Amino acid sequence: MMSPFVTAAVLLIGDELLSGRTKDQNAGWIADRLTELGIDLKEVRVVADDEPAIVEAVNALRARYDYVFSTGGIGPTHDDITADAIAKAFGVGIDYRPDVVAAMEKVFGDRLNEARLRMARIPDGASLLYAEGNVAPGFIIGNVHVMAGVPKIMQSMFSAVAPHLRAGPAVLSETILADAKEGDVGTPLGEVQKRNPDVSIGSYPFQDERGYNTNLVIRGRDPAAVAKAKAEVLAMLDEVHAALA
Amino acid sequence: MMSPFVTAAVLLIGDELLSGRTKDQNAGWIADRLTELGIDLKEVRVVADDEPAIVEAVNALRARYDYVFSTGGIGPTHDDITADAIAKAFGVGIDYRPDVVAAMEKVFGDRLNEARLRMARIPDGASLLYAEGNVAPGFIIGNVHVMAGVPKIMQSMFSAVAPHLRAGPAVLSETILADAKEGDVGTPLGEVQKRNPDVSIGSYPFQDERGYNTNLVIRGRDPAAVAKAKAEVLAMLDEVHAALA
């Protein structure tokens, strides 16, 4: 029987993320979309533009999760080595794909040079994944979705593939502002979590002008279980506030 | 002989990063600091508040890199399981640390409850890593630095440990705005890279009001090699601009 829970990993590829030069925005965006789809994002990895590192990460993640989404390294320059690394990870060949070359000839004409042609190199057996308005595609091979690193292009590619993903039961999320320090709610909150094993309760401290405060987040797929846990958290907070008053 | 190149990994721990609820700011901040220190950040992983996932990631990363920096999961609530997972990864015990308990008694007095005491549980053999103004510490065990997830607290912990890290030779970085599309510079840029193997040249496309443009980034530890590559990139751009004019 197929599990009702669908899992995914994100693999961000690029030296610029590891040097700090570029601050990633893609992982958080994909995380939001996967949550909306009821797909559980289980792991994110960031690796350099380095073939052995990409191959190892892709093979580790695709074996373990239902879907892998990679970003970065599919452009026209020498440091764009993702397509070759993915072909290697899958043990398949890679070559200029005639339909992509033909489409690029139309768009680029005289300006279709060796660099741009690199973007037509697609691993054997992959299907193409286009961003709106872009002639250079990403691709899908096995359960791995290989997307661009530029956020706008990546988002368009993800949106093209999203309707075809196996979605999971939606995750409901309730956020409650505790109006208390994390240390003051920790013990009773742990008891609420123990009594409500079908939800996961997270506790997220933050600081604002009034000092330390805490957001409590209840997540679960059963609306009744989430509602029950929420009621218990609210009752617990009343007791904590009364004790501290 | 000890390698002159020092490597590191970052491990971000927290369900909220994978659900998309919290957008990570820590990896990029640490990446910037490590680059300043001449330490090569090689990999980032994000895992859930899940003991087996944390144990596996910590053990994979600490075996492979000189330093590991983790963030998240050391607070006072039931979902803060990082300290226990790290103890398990190292195969050591974990208990309430008397000096931390004593310091917490002073600060919290009557409000030192079971939840806050959780933050005094430190793996055997670890040394403490304090953020300025915080009584609850992170810790260092082996080559693993276990820090808070709240950015301000994490940054203070990192800054406390930074002077004690083995720094590497500084990485110099030169950014050149290409004023050309990536596809127009890709082929000659690859040739510049081939002639300059001691630097790494990255190409980062972006879009602004004028359309697509590209930043070229030359990174290397030898000032003469970076200067030579920069001169060759500038000469290459002159040729590209002339050809496109």
Asked whether the beta carbons of residue A19 and residue B42 sit closer than 8 angstroms, the reply is no
CB contacts, 8 Å: A34 with chain B: 20
Asked whether the beta carbons of residue A75 and residue B113 sit closer than 8 angstroms, the reply is no
DSSP per-residue letters across A100-138: HHHHHHHHHGGG--HHHHHTTEEETT-EEEPPTT-SS-E
CB contacts, 8 Å: A77 with chain B: 182, 185-186, 189-190, 203
Tens-digit pLDDT profile for residues B60-102: 999 999 999 999 999 999 999 999 999 999 999 999 999 999 9
Tell me what the pLDDT averaged over chain B comes to. 96
A-facing residues of B in 190-219 (CB < 8 A) are 190, 193-194, 200-207, 217, 219
B44 has a chain A CB within 8 A of its CB:
yes
Cβ proximity of B7 and B39 under 8 Å: yes
Probe site for chain A from B78, B132, B213 (most A CB atoms < 10 A)? B78
pLDDT at residue A3 in the model: 62
Question: Nearest-5° angle of CA B58, CA B60, CA B62?
Answer: 60
Residues of chain A with CATH 3.30.1370.10: 172-244
B44-72 exposure pattern, b = at least 16 Cβ within 10 A, e = fewer = bbbbbbbeebbbebbbbbbeebbbbbbbb
A8 has a chain B CB within 8 A of its CB:
no
A76 has a chain B CB within 8 A of its CB:
yes
- State the number of CA atoms in the 13 A half-sphere of B236 facing the CB: 22
Tens-digit pLDDT profile for residues A153-180: 999 999 999 999 999 888 999 999 999 9
Tens-digit pLDDT profile for residues B109-156: 999 999 999 999 999 999 999 999 999 999 999 999 999 999 999 999
Question: Nearest-5° angle of CA B126, CA B130, CA B136?
Answer: 85
pLDDT at residue A76 in the model: 96
CA–CA min distance B183, chain A (Å):
5
Asked whether the beta carbons of residue B21 and residue A205 sit closer than 8 angstroms, the reply is no
Q: Is the ipTM of this complex over 0.85?
A: yes
How many pairs of residues across A and B have Cβ atoms under 8 Å apart?
211
Enter the DSSP assignment of A165: S
What's the whole-model pTM score? Answer: 0.95
Probe site for chain A from B40, B45, B46 (most A CB atoms < 10 A)? B46
Tens-digit pLDDT profile for residues A178-228: 999 999 999 999 999 999 999 999 999 988 888 889 999 999 999 999 999
B3 has a chain A CB within 8 A of its CB:
no
A150 has a chain B CB within 8 A of its CB:
yes
pLDDT band at A88 (very low <50, low <70, confident <90, very high): very high
pLDDT at residue B194 in the model: 97
Provide the CATH number for the domain formed by A6-164 in this structure.
Answer: 3.40.980.10
CATH of A172-244, picked from 3.30.1370.10, 3.20.20.70, 3.90.79.10, 3.40.640.10, is: 3.30.1370.10
CB contacts, 8 Å: A22 with chain B: 204
Question: Once rounded to an integer, what is the mean pLDDT over residues B43-55?
Answer: 98
Amino acid A7 reads T
pLDDT at residue B1 in the model: 47
Asked whether the beta carbons of residue A203 and residue B75 sit closer than 8 angstroms, the reply is yes
Question: Nearest-5° angle of CA B137, CA B143, CA B149?
Answer: 40
Q: Give alpha helix (H) positions in A132-178.
A: 151-161
Asked whether the beta carbons of residue B200 and residue A15 sit closer than 8 angstroms, the reply is yes
pLDDT at residue B209 in the model: 85
Is the C-alpha dihedral spanning A117, A118, A119, A123 positive or negative?
positive
Residues of chain B with CATH 3.40.980.10: 6-164
Tens-digit pLDDT profile for residues A17-72: 999 999 999 999 999 999 999 999 999 999 999 999 999 999 999 999 999 999 99
Percentage of chain B modeled with pLDDT above 90: 93
